[in-house]
Structure 1
Amino acid sequence: MAGQITGAEAVLAALDADEPITMVLVDRDKNTAAIRTKCQQRGIPVEEGSTNDLWRMSADGHVDALALVGRVPQATLEQAFERGGTVWFFDGVTYSTNLGFAIRTAEVAGADAVVLNVMKTHEERRTIRRSSMRADRFLPVVYDSTEAILSAARTHNFRIITVEDVGTHQPWEEDLTGDVLLVVGAEKEGISQTVLDAADACVLLPMDGFVPSYNLQVAVSVVAVEALRQRNNTSLEL
């Protein structure tokens, strides 16, 4: 799970202490030369953002710099699964704005990577970035085929948990901790039969209305928050 070091002084201290920082975000309008120099010396990528950008992402309000720890924001498909943790698979989701919202939710809830099986044009990827508040800067978003994704999950002993209306129990009745591939499908088509057949478990969200399904963002949000709750509880018990 990713963590955040907040504020220029704290980031500088962490850099001096050789903490495992994987990215630093700085306010482009502030003097952060010392941070930039230390990051360059250690080969740590630096991203620039506006004052408002940093304020929205900071856990402590207005700051000049933020550091990402606990997650490497770039990965191949193989690396994403080698590292373990919580990986999201948005199976067959084509609408770029929906993908952006889903990626943002996954990142906020501490996912380690997102994998997609629908190739996107350059313009579509720009739409995804905008919709996600550029959350793709902070976790790997990997494009590959369904077969490759499932193979990588199996190779690295991930449990595959799908979210679909054919599920047999609710998310809070399933163990969502450890190395898990959480799968949500497109709103119209749902999760492909290939992925459903490969799943270790299938959960469903409780519904009690006339409309027979939630939208994609709701499904992702409910399961993402439940997975985070379970991980936090597990950490407290250790």
Structure 2
Amino acid sequence: MSEINDEIIYGRNSVRELLKADKPVNKVLFQSEGTGTNFQELVEVAREKRIPFQFVEKSALDRLTAHAKHQGVLAYVAPREYATVEDILGLARSKGEDPFILVLDEVEDPHNLGALIRTVDAVGAHGVIIPKRRSVGLTGTVAKTSAGAVEHVLVARETNLVQTLEELKKEGCWIAGAEAGGVEASQTDLTGPRVLVIGSEGKGIGRLVREACDEIVSLPMKGKINSLNASVAGSILLYEVLRQRTAKTSP
């Protein structure tokens, strides 16, 4: 009998029903050895629904399920439904506000994602966009780190961030990427329809995503360390956007 264990569901029947029910799934793992074509149906469903999947050794599934009878398949389940980019833009329109969106390029640490979602809620931004691959999704750890903010912040998961940024430009948004060497954030205008892009913990913003940005902004660094944790840098920049917006609307 397959079981549910916190953020994962395993067992062929359970995963099959999960995929058919259109529940939010972050990723599916299939056993790579000795499976033949046993998973072909599930693989096709995952591919059709654009759910990331990967083939791994049986030992990996054994470890993740504490040696339960996983039957060679495991799915990571998101704690809440993902939104769409249109949902985020629609929220801004419903509030009569310029879009204020955070885009995360391959941020893999769930604590960073959770902390940033919490800050997005605090500054009144309209949502977060993350990539489907090479990025942490909505997990229990993310939800816990966000201190409940994940229930209030729209998070969209997109296949192609560059294409998404180009679509946001067509909606009138100005894209600011955060990276060392850019113009100091406090010295540039961050008001109006605004998308802020934060890169991964190790590599920063990818080349193609950087090229899609309208400008690069940075924070002043006076110490001996030349970079900040992604959630710290992102939070400071989100508050800089809020500061400028508040100053612009104040009498």
Question: How does the TM-score come out when normalised to structure 2?
Answer: 0.60
The aligned amino acid for 1:153 is: L
- Please, which of 186, 207, 215 is the counterpart of residue 172 of structure 1? 186
> Structure 1, residues 14-67: CA drift from partner, whole Å, max 9, x if none?
xxxxxxxxxxxxxxxxxxxxxxxxxxxxxxxxxxxxxxxxxxxxxxxxxxxxxx
> What residue number does 2:101 align with?
87
CA contact (8 A) 2:103 2:128 kept: yes
Q: 2:205 aligns with which of 152, 172, 191?
A: 191
Of 86, 97, 107, 1:78 maps to 86
Change (3 A) 1:85 1:196: same
Structure 1 partner of 2:177? 162
Pairs aligned (count):
163
Separation of aligned partners in 2, 1:144 and 1:150: 10
Q: Distance in 1 between matches of 2:140 and 2:158?
A: 18
Q: Which residue of 1 aligns with 2:225?
A: 211
How far is 1:74 from its partner?
7.7
Partner of residue 181 from structure 1, selected from 195, 198, 204: 195
Task: Report the counterpart of residue 50 of structure 2 in structure 1.
Answer: none
Distance 1:149 1:159, change over 3 A: same
- Contact kept in structure 2, 1:85 and 1:180, CA below 8 Å: yes
Contact 1:87 1:115 in 2 (8 A): yes
CA offsets 1:129-151 (integer angstroms, 9 cap, x no match):
11101212112111112134213
Alignment TM-score, normalising by the size of structure 1: 0.63
Q: Is contact 2:110–2:136 with CA below 8 Å preserved after alignment?
A: no
Identify the residue that residue 22 of structure 1 maps to in structure 2.
none
Say which is worse superposed, 108-117 or 81-90, in terms of deviation: 81-90
For the Cα contact (< 8 Å) 1:163–1:183, is it kept in 2? yes
8 A Cα contact 2:173 2:195, kept in partner: yes
Deviations 1:74-123 (A, max 9, x none): 8421232353421000111011111101111111111111111145788x
Give the Å deviation of 1:154: 1.9
From 141, 146, 167, the counterpart of 1:127 = 141
Q: Which has the larger radius of gyration?
A: 2
- 2:83·2:157 contact (CA, 8 Å) conserved in 1? no
Query: Equivalents in 2 of 1:148, 1:236: separation in Å?
Result: 35
* 8 Å contact kept, 1:77–1:142: yes
How far did residue 234 of structure 1 move? 1.4
Kindly report the root-mean-square deviation, in angstroms, between the aligned alpha carbons of the 2 structures. 2.1
Out of 100, 115, 122, the residue aligned to residue 108 of structure 1 is 122
Change (3 A) 1:112 1:174: same
- Gap change, CA 1:219 and 1:121, over 3 Å in 2: closer
Q: What stretches of structure 2 of length at least 5 have no aligned partner?
A: 1-80, 93-97
Question: Mind listing any 5+ residue stretches in structure 1 that lack a counterpart?
Answer: 1-72
Distance in 2 separating the partners of 1:80 and 1:95 = 23
User: Shift of residue 155 of structure 1?
Assistant: 2.2
Q: Which amino acid aligns with 1:139?
A: V
Q: Decide whether aligned partners of structure 1 residues 92 and 121 sit closer, same or farther in structure 2, where only a CA change above 3 A counts.
A: closer
How do 1:132-143 and structure 2 match up within 5 A? Answer: 132-143=146-157
CA contact (8 A) 1:115 1:149 kept: no
Percent sequence identity is 31
The one-letter amino acid of 1:160's match is I
Q: Secondary structure at the match of 1:94?
A: coil
